[in-house]
Amino acid sequence: MNIVILSRNPHLYSTKRLVEEAKERGHSVEVIDPLKCDIIIEKEKPTIYYRDRYLDYVDAIIPRIGASITFYGCAVVRQFEMMGAFSIVSSGSILRSRDKLKSLQLLSKAGVGMPKTVFTNYSRDAKEVLAHVGGAPVIIKLLEGTQGLGVVLAETKNAAESVLEAFNGLEARVIVQEFISEAKGADLRALVVDGQVVGAMKRQGKEGEFRSNLHRGGSADIIKLSDDEIRLAMESARALKLPVCGVDMLQSSRGPLLLEVNSTPGLEGIEGATGKNIAKSIISFIERNKK
């Protein structure tokens, strides 16, 4: 099988692991920068031209599309789909997951538990917004933020109002969420492949840091999820139509609560913490679907 990994950096851990496992299982695999692909739109013959050749021989693709190139990256994924290539996540699902507001609305409708969340159109009444989520402390997130960037913990009412006023002045769209204090700076990441949880870890933020992102100095350990946590992960993936994704959640006094769903989750942290071969699970998923 001819597999293409859409990635801007072939040296990233996740990209290298997927290449290794694809070759181990006897497939031809190459890493292609989606930004260097030309999309050729022609009647009944959609094609992609990359450097010196047409990519009309590709059986399956693995999108590793960063948030900064979502628009063009998804256009390339969509073109491959039109050419008949199988993608582990569809272009539509990537776009859906990258829209934080839309994804939360869809997940809410699907009955997925999450922290109380408010979105408003540059409201100047910060007091009212805070009241909707139960008051300070609150988490304020930029809709366009990724990897913990653009996320602020406002511990007091005055601090929250100041941050909201500043973002409103910049016309930056934000969501406000209740702060789950009992999580104690930790969250859970469940890796879903083909609708099943294949690995899970607990990420703990470093001392004094409420964000648990590993690249911000957090640590990760393997964890056995409860039935409710497994159910939340699988329901979230299903609601956003993402057969492969990372589901982040908090442990709270009222059960697991969803933080977000990542359509291109990194493999380094989860493979390191669990010792599981997640890359192999992804390649096996492709094999099952192409057959």
Domain at 105, CATH number: 3.30.470.20
pLDDT the model gives residue 125 = 73
Q: How far apart are CA 25 and CA 283, in angstroms?
A: 8
Whether residue 29 sits in one domain with residue 18: yes
Whether residue 83 sits in one domain with residue 101: no
Q: What is the 3-state secondary structure (H, E, C) of 163-209?
A: HHHHHHHCCCCEEEEECCHHHCCEEEEEEEECCEEEEEEEEECCCCC
- DSSP 8-state symbol, 225: P
- Sheet containing 244-252: give its strands across: 219-222, 196-204, 186-193, 244-252, 255-262
Whether residue 247 sits in one domain with residue 105: yes
Strand partners, 192: 197, 245
* Residue 192 resides in a domain: yes
Whether residue 191 sits in one domain with residue 271: yes
Question: Once rounded to an integer, what is the mean pLDDT over residues 262-279?
Answer: 95
Say which residue, 218 or 183, is predicted with more confidence. Answer: 183
* Residue 282 resides in a domain: no
pLDDT over threshold 60, residue 208: no
Q: What is the per-residue pLDDT across 73-115, written as a single tens digit (0 to 9) for each?
A: 999 999 999 999 999 999 999 999 999 899 999 999 999 999 9
Which of residues 145, 179, 213 is at a domain's end?
Answer: 179
Whether residue 45 sits in one domain with residue 59: yes
Whether residue 130 sits in one domain with residue 227: no
- How many Cβ atoms from other residues are within 10 Å of residue 210's Cβ? 18
**Averaged confidence pLDDT in the chain:** 90
Question: Once rounded to an integer, what is the mean pLDDT over residues 251-257?
Answer: 93
Q: How far apart are CA 223 and CA 202, in angstroms?
A: 6
Say which residue, 145 or 30, is predicted with more confidence. Answer: 30
Say which residue, 195 or 283, is predicted with more confidence. Answer: 283
Whether residue 240 sits in one domain with residue 255: yes
Per-residue burial over 113-137, b if 16 or more Cβ lie within 10 Å, else e, is bbbebbbbeeeeebeebbeebeebb
Whether residue 198 sits in one domain with residue 104: yes
* Residue 288 resides in a domain: no
Beta strands 219-222; 28-32: pairing state? unpaired
Whether residue 237 sits in one domain with residue 147: no
Domain at 135, CATH number: 3.30.1490.20
Q: Identify the three-state secondary structure at position 98.
A: helix
Classify 24 in phi/psi space as left (phi over 0), alpha (psi -120 to 50) or beta: alpha
pLDDT the model gives residue 128 = 83
Q: In which domain, by residue range, is 56 found?
A: 2-88
Q: What is the per-residue pLDDT across 145-191, written as a single tens digit (0 to 9) for each?
A: 555 567 888 888 889 888 888 887 787 888 899 999 888 888 999 99
- DSSP 8-state symbol, 8: S
pLDDT the model gives residue 100 = 87
**Residue type present at position 119:** F
Whether residue 198 sits in one domain with residue 154: no
Whether residue 147 sits in one domain with residue 210: no
pLDDT the model gives residue 198 = 97
Whether residue 198 sits in one domain with residue 107: yes
Question: Once rounded to an integer, what is the mean pLDDT over residues 13-32?
Answer: 97
pLDDT the model gives residue 147 = 55
Task: Count how many domains the chain has.
Answer: 3
**Degrees, nearest 5: CA angle 84-190-226:** 135
